[in-house]
Every structure is written in C-alpha cells, then in structure tokens.
Amino acid sequence: MKGRLIVWEGVEGSGKTTQVAAIAEWLQSTQSQEVVTTREPGGTALGKHLRNLLLKEEIHTIHDKTELCLYAADRIQHLEEVIKPALAQGKIVLCDRFTASSIAYQCYGRGLDYSLVEQFNQIATNGLGPDLTIWLKLDVRIGLQRVKLRGESDRFEKAALEFHQRVHQGYQDIALRQPQTFITIEANQPQALVTQAIQQALSKHFQEFDET
Ligand code: TMP
C-alpha cells in the first residue's frame, strides 16, 4: 500500500500537538496502515540539536538566511532518516510542520525572498510534497495567549505580534493558492470539534485516494 504524508501547520498555540495525537489514535483504529508521528524541527537525533539551536531563547544572533538553512538541514535529515523510509513501507506519516512553515515563517515572517525559500524547500525535498496539509487556523492573539498560559516561551513565541500576523497571512495565502491540498480547519473551537472537523477532511481525502 502507498504511504501518505499528512502535514500539520499553524501559528504558535494552534493546538497541533493535541490534534496530531488525537488523529494518530483515530487513524490507528480505522486504517490498516501503520501510523508514524513526527515533527520539524527535531524529528531525528541531529534534528533535536538543530531544534535546540533554533528555538533556544538565548541565541539572538541567527541571521535570517542561517535560520532558513538550518530548517532546510533539519528537513533533509528528517526526510532521509524518517519520512522517506516510512512512506516506502506504506505508512501514514503525520508530520508536525513541513515546507509551508518555511514559507510562512522565513518568507512572510522574516521577509526573505519567496523564491529563495522555495529553492531551499526544493533542495530539501527534491519535490516530495505532502498528500494533504491540515492548517489549524487561529487568531494569533489567541494562540499566543495559550502559549503564555503554558509557561516558558521559545525564541519564536517571544517574537512580536506583527511577526506572527505576517506568518498567519502566509498560511492564508498558501490556503488560497492550494485549496485542494491545504485544508483550513477553524481551530478556535472546542478540541473535540476540531478533531471532528479534521476527521471529516481526512475521511474525504482517504475516500478520494482509494478511488484513484
Ligand atoms: P513547534 O514545533 O513548537 O511548532 O515550533 C517550531 C518553531 O519553528 C515554530 O515557531 C515555527 C518554526 N519553524 C520555522 O520558522 N520554519 C520552519 O521551516 C519550521 C519547520 C518551523
């Protein structure tokens, strides 16, 4: 059976971690394929070091292009070590963040050139894209408030509101460009309803997928 890559995107505090866990459990009980959950940055041993470098609050001197390279490096390692082997074994891979995060954060957020970010995405993935992306759409103010209530914030979570608003705009633009594969889920509702909405979107996708 063909493997599938399902990616999760959203601003800080959008509830990806909770939803990935809920959907992994649901898929495990409804699909015959094995389910793997992973994330970027940090889905490999090397990636965990890169995640630390990228998110640790004390590091203030990462140049925007360096940041882009480090996310791309994490992605290459992740694809080679985790994603591609899992897909080759016919597994369903649920990946918390992927290339759209680089577009939203490094291009829209940091202001790097779109084509530069796309080039790095292309180098990292060699054209391997998600079968489906679930975007948990949430007002950035609500997301940041949730993060604040959780306690410690990382380098990105501490960034200015305007930065996060630009990131949100990035996701909005991607969703407009790719309505079939970048699915918008309203995340400002009770967790169980968010899970239900994702299940509906995925059921539709699996049905279409089985028919092709
Ligand atoms: P998270 O895994 O807790 O969502 O945190 C990862 C952070 O890294 C988040 O602030 C978004 C950021 N990020 C980028 O800026 N570019 C990327 O390509 C990826 C994968 C994540």
CATH code assigned at 74? 3.40.50.300
Atom number in ligand 1 closest to CA 109: 15
**What's residue 212's pLDDT?**
63
Distance 199 CA to ligand 1 centre (A): 24
**What's residue 58's pLDDT?**
74
**Residue stretches of the chain with pLDDT short of 70:** 59-60, 211-212
Please report the sign of the dihedral spanned by the C-alpha atoms of residue 68, residue 69, residue 70, residue 76: positive
pLDDT in tens, 48-82: 999 999 998 776 689 999 999 999 999 999 999 99
Q: Is the CB of 171 under 6 A from ligand 1?
A: no
Q: State the Rg of the chain over Cα.
A: 16
Atom number in ligand 1 closest to CA 75: 20
For 53, the token pair is 């470098």
**What's residue 61's pLDDT?**
85
Q: Is the CB of 105 under 6 A from ligand 1?
A: yes
Q: Is the CB of 39 under 6 A from ligand 1?
A: yes
Cα–Cα distance for residue pair 203/26, rounded to 1 Å: 11
Q: How many domains does the chain have?
A: 1
DSSP reduced 3-state for 16: helix
Residue tagged 């914030």 (tokens): 153
Residue type, 117: V
- Residue ranges of E strands in the chain: 4-10, 35-39, 92-96, 132-137, 182-186
Q: Is the CB of 101 under 6 A from ligand 1?
A: yes
**pTM to 2 decimal places:** 0.96
**What's residue 116's pLDDT?**
98
**What's residue 1's pLDDT?**
79
Distance 97 CA to ligand 1 centre (A): 7
| For ligand 1, mutation pick of 16, 98, 105 (most atoms within 8 Å of CB) | 105
Average pLDDT, the chain: 95
pLDDT in tens, 173-194: 999 999 999 999 999 999 999 9
**What's residue 81's pLDDT?**
98
DSSP reduced 3-state for 123: helix
| CA trace torsion 202, 203, 204, 207 (10° rounding) | 120
Find the domain containing 9 and state its range.
Answer: 4-211
Q: Is the CB of 156 under 6 A from ligand 1?
A: yes
